[in-house]
Every structure is written in C-alpha cells, then in structure tokens.
Structure 1
Amino acid sequence: MEPINTALSQWDGNKELQKRLDQAKQSLLKNSYITQFLDEHPGVTDDMLTTGMTKLYEYKKERDHCDHCPGLNRCPNLMQGYQPELYIERKNLELRYHACSLKVQHEKQKQEQDLIRSLYIPKDVLSASFNQLDADTDRMEASKAALHFAMNANPGEDGMGLYFYGKFGVGKTYLMGAIANELKERNIETFIIYTPDFFREMRQSIGDGTFQEKLDAVKKAKVLILDDIGAETTSSWTRDDVLGAILQHRMLEKLPTLFTSNYDYDELENHLSYSDKGGTEELKAMRIMERIKHYTKVITVKGENRRG
C-alpha cells in the first residue's frame, strides 16, 4: 500500500500540502539525533526518508521527551520508561524501544526488594537531603562526615565506611538516607538494611532456598548500610555465617559498609560475644569487630530525640 504522505502529495492542486510535507521533512532532518543517525547510515535514500516520515517524527518526539525527562512516573513516552532506537530493516526506517536507565534501575530495585524484604528506605528518609539538614551544632560532625562520604565514595577502590553511634532518635538513619540519595545521583548502588529484620529474614530463607542468593546480593552491593546493628537477637550463626561472611567479602573487595547503632564499638563487641549456645564467645566477636573498626570511622551523633 502506498504511504499516505506520498499519495497525498500526488493529488492535483495539492501543492500547499506538498510544501508543508517538505518543510516538516527538512525540519526533522535538522534534528541532532536524526542527523547523527544519517551520518552513521550514509546509505539512507530520500525515498526511505519520505516513506519513514512518521517514524522519524515519533523518534524525534520521544527523544525530546527523554532530553527533558520528568522522571519515570511521569514519563510521557508511548511506552513509559522506554527510549526509541531508529534502525533500518529491508530498506525501511523502523523503530524499536529499549528500557531507559531509570527503568532499568527501577526494575533492578524492585527485584532486590522482592528478594530482600528488609531492604528498605523508610518513608521519612525517602527524600532525605543534605540541603534539608538544619545547622544543628550537635550533628555538625556527623553531617560533615556523611556529606564527605557521599561525595567521595569510591567502591572497589576505597572500602572505608562510617559507624554512626548515638542514642535513639538523634537522626542517624536520616543521615544515612541522605547519603543513599546522594549516591543514587552518582549512580552508585546502595542497600539500606534494617539489621534485626534482615537477620530474621536470613534465617527464614534457609527454608525457602533463597539464603545464598540474598547473601550474595548484600555482599556485593556497592555500598551497604546496616541500620541499627546491635538491636538484633544475637546468635552464633547470624554473627559468623551471615555478618562475618558479608564483612569478609566486602573487606576483600574494598566495598564500603556503613553502620548505625545505639552501641559504641566496645558495647557492640560485648553484644556480639553472647552466644545462643550459652556463655560468651569473645574471640569470635573480636574478629567481627576488627573488621568493623578497621574499615569504618566512628562518629558520635549527638542531639535530642527527634521522634519523641
């Protein structure tokens, strides 16, 4: 079947329409994406351009949307979260769509959250930002340390993390949320995990066969934040086979791990030394703490309880 724009151009007395079609064609050919495509495909003929006008227009419009991206949820493209690709098939211009970086990231996060239920960013820190932090002198040291880490983190090259210690409600998790959001802008994958839930989930995952998959995902995250470590019920298994395995891998691969806790180093070591088998296991707790101490900078987060 003859393309509609070609058929219309052949009607008697339709010179004005032909003029408009030519103008639209010339306008499209000035688009930077289309000129780049033509430079890469010198074999494209004028007939191919004429019959492919509709595809060219769709391609230009969708790429313009991507250049002024309003975010994945407000994506105006025909296929939300997908970018068009122009290609040639049987001497015709055709379009196909690929997931954009935001869509890929969203799907990856969804898969991770489906896998690990304790992987989360609480609602109150979803929009946490360093720009929103007040000039609170009590938290100034922690805020500076958090910002410095967020701006300079280099997973794989520098495995140094942070250990935020302070009372309940002083804003430790909020600062971690600000770090995670800043790292997201730098395209650095960050896991924030509520430690007590994570250890419970790992124990349950033995029964459903997902233990190793979950463990590997956490071990390999570019940046890992273990929120509220020390609030969990201690067992030899979670300490040695879960936490120990995670920290050992991350230490070797120079992947930063950050912690928040109500315990300082010594108190956390004492907490980790208790065994569900009875008695204490100071040596094993000491080994865990050596990994934490050597690869974190401890920061005391001061201030009043902001939740009370």
Structure 2
Amino acid sequence: MKDMQAELRKLMDQRHMTGAYRQTIAKAVADPEVQAFLAANQAALAPDAVDRGAAKIYEFVNERNKRAAGEASFAPGYQPQLVVANGQLDLAYEPTQARVAAEAKAAQRALVKAINMPKAIATASLANYDPTGRDEALDAATDFTLAVAQAPHAYHQGLYLTGPFGVGKTYLLGAIANQLAKQGIASTLLHVPTYAVEMKGAIQTNSVLAKINAIKKAPVLMLDDIGAEALSPWFRDEVLGIILQYRMQEEMPTLFSSNKTMAELTRYLAGSERGDNEALKASRLMERIKFLAKEIAVGGNDRRNG
C-alpha cells in the first residue's frame, strides 16, 4: 500500500505538474488548514485520498477564501468543511453561526402570531419596559413568563391589564409574547375591535366557526383592547363567549388589555338598557374573564402623546 505522505509529496512536487491547474491544486493542498486536516486524519484516509480528492480540496480553499473576502459564495450562509468518507476526502457545507442565529431568531418570531396588532410589538421587550408608574404590571408580567417557563403544561392565570389610553398595555402584551417565544412557547395576539368587524363579515362566508377555532386553541391567547369594540350581543355571546368558555374549561393561559376596568367592562357588556337577561349574560362572560385573568392596573403617563 502506498504511503499517503509520499503521495502528497508527489502531488505537490512541481515536476509532476503541468499547467496552471496543477499549480492551483498544489497551492490549495499546501494550505495550512488543509495540511492540518490531512495530518489529523491520516490514519482514516486512503493513500490516494489526496490525489483523488484534489478537486474537493481546491473547492474548500476557494469557497473559504471567498467567504473571508466577503465575496459571493457557492452556498450563502453555509461554510465548507473537509470530511472523510470511506477513506476519501469529501466536502460538507454546514450553516454558519450567523445563519444558525438568524434561523433561530426567525423561528422565535414565528412563535408570536400577531393579528391586526401594531408593528411595535415585534420588538417589545420586558427589559425595555419603563416601570415608572407601572411597576406592578411589569412585575406581574415577569412573574407570569417565569411561571409558564417553569411549568409550560400547567395552568397559569393570565393578566387583565387595565388603564387609560397610551400607557403601554399593548406593548406589555407584546413584550410578554416575545419573552414567551424565547422560551419556545407560542402565543397569539389579537386586536379585539378589528376581530369583531371581521367576524361580522365571516357570517357571509360561513367561516365564523373556523375563525373561532383558530383563535380559541392558541397555546397562549392575548386579547388586546377588549371593550373597545362596538357592542354586539352576538359577538359577546357567540364569539367571545365560546372562545373564553373553551379556554376556561381547558385551563389555557389567556391575557387581556382594556381601557375599562373589569367593573366597567361588565356594565359595558350588559348594554345601555341593562335588561336582566343581558346583565346576566354579561356577568357570565365576566366570570370567565375573572377565572382566566387577574386585574392589574397599568399607570403612568401617556407614552404615545406624552
């Protein structure tokens, strides 16, 4: 059996090479990183591995140098690696650290499903949330995310964030969703007033049930701005009622934000006439909300216009 080092010396000996191609191959084989790989894997390589794998060596060095120079490479986002396969040299392309990080970030973003929500929630963070006047809300949000992380399959009562317009309730929901995503937990954020309008349109397309089912089974559901929708007994009973009843029975984490306190939302859902029947239906819905979430006041100044 031929000695591999002897074969390597033969390949690199310019007297055995003709033309620019041979010189290019010899230069690639002489590359320090290639030499280190060959030395580390000498026992696993066949004696003729360098000769037969010369093109692989050249491709490795060429693609590596392109990446180092910032030039377009054969496989953007992937880096070449020399490997041994059945005693011969081969080339594998592995994702770069940057690509791995980008894919992880994309996967994390995919865990947050935002429906008709402001773009700002995409970058919302508990770490950047100003606690001035709303430290209780921040503490409650932090405790909630920690509890879910520690026991993701257990029931955790959510939050009902109430406070004036512009104090950061929606942002806080987004920050909670993003923190949960870092922990590998999916959530859905839904702007209730817009959803109410869309559900009326769904009646015409006979897609009400499908839309309800798509929302009610979210691992973590966040209903933003509840109580700001136009009052509709149908939406209250046949949409919100079904969603919240399901989540209460299945003990699924649910959060809310509203400009109304729970007491104010109760009166609103009962309607202006407040007949006994409507008041009873409103109370039933509120019982589900109270089971699912605890009321937390969000204070501070108007961050949007202040």
In the aligned structure 2, how far is the partner of 1:77 from the partner of 1:276? 70
**Hey, what's the Cα distance between the residues in 2 that align with 1:180 and 1:157?**
17
Equivalent residues in 2 for 1:210-221 (5 A)? 210-221=207-218
Scaled by the length of structure 2, what TM-score is found? 0.68
- Which whole-Å CA distance do the structure 1 matches of 2:293 and 2:136 have between them? 15
Structure 1 counterpart of 2:128, from 125, 132, 144: 132
| 1:296 has 2:293 as partner | yes
Shift in Å, 1:51: 5.6
The alignment status of 1:182 with 2:182, answered yes or no, reads no
Q: Does 1:21 align with 2:29?
A: yes
1:147 is aligned to 2:142: yes
Identity %: 37
Which amino acid in the other structure matches residue 230 of structure 2?
T
The answer to which of 210-219 and 19-28 deviates more is 19-28
For normalisation by structure 1, the TM-score amounts to 0.67
C-alpha distance in structure 2 between counterparts of 1:274 and 1:201, whole Å? 21
Distance in 1 (alpha carbons) for counterparts of 2:255 and 2:57 = 53
Aligned to 1:239: 236
Q: Distance in 1 between matches of 2:207 and 2:61?
A: 47
- In 1, Cα distance between equivalents of 2:251 and 2:289: 13
SS at match of 2:221: strand
The answer for the alignment partner of 1:257 in structure 2 is: 254
Aligned-partner residue type, residue 18 of structure 1 = A
Alignment of 1:18-167 (within 5 A): 18=26, 20-21=28-29, 23=31, 24-25=33-34, 46=49, 52-53=56-57, 100-103=103-106, 119-136=115-132, 138-154=133-149, 155-167=152-164
Equivalent of residue 302 in structure 2, options 293, 305, 308: 305
Tell me the alpha carbon deviations over residues 3-57 of structure 1, each in whole angstroms, 9 at most, x when there is no partner.
Answer: xxx9xx97348578436326454556899xxx9xxxxxx9xx9488656557867
Cα distance in 2, alignment partners of residues 159 and 176 from structure 1: 15
Distance (whole Å) between structure 2 residues aligned to residue 286 and residue 251 of structure 1: 15
Q: Decide which structure has the larger Cα Rg and report it.
A: 2
Query: Structure 2: which 5+ residue stretches go unaligned?
Result: 1-10
Q: What is the count of residue pairs matched by the alignment?
A: 272
> Given that residues 81 and 102 in structure 1 are in contact (C-alpha distance below 8 angstroms), is that contact kept between their aligned partners in structure 2?
no
RMSD: 4.6
With over 3 angstroms needed to count, the CA separation of the structure-2 counterparts of 1:283 and 1:57, relative to structure 1, is: farther
The one-letter amino acid of 1:157's match is: A
C-alpha separation in 2, matches of 1:128 and 1:167: 19
Runs of 5+ consecutive residues of structure 1 not aligned to the other structure: 1-5, 36-41, 66-75, 114-118
**3-state DSSP of counterpart to 2:175:** helix
Q: Distance in 2 between matches of 1:30 and 1:213?
A: 62
Give the Cα separation in 2 of the matches to 1:30 and 1:228. 66
Aligned to 1:201: 198
Instruction: Report if aligned partners of 2:63, 2:73 keep a CA contact under 8 Å in 1.
Output: no
Indicate the SS of the match to 2:296.
strand
Distance 2:217 2:171 in 1: 23
Q: Structure 1 residues 56 and 77, CA, compared in 2 at 3 Å: closer, same or farther?
A: closer
Q: 1:279: Cα distance to partner?
A: 7.4
Q: How far apart, CA to CA, are the structure 2 residues paired with 1:11 and 1:153? A: 66
Q: Which digits, 9 at most, give the CA deviation of each residue in 1:205-248, with x for residues without a partner?
A: 23335433332221122221111111112222211221122112
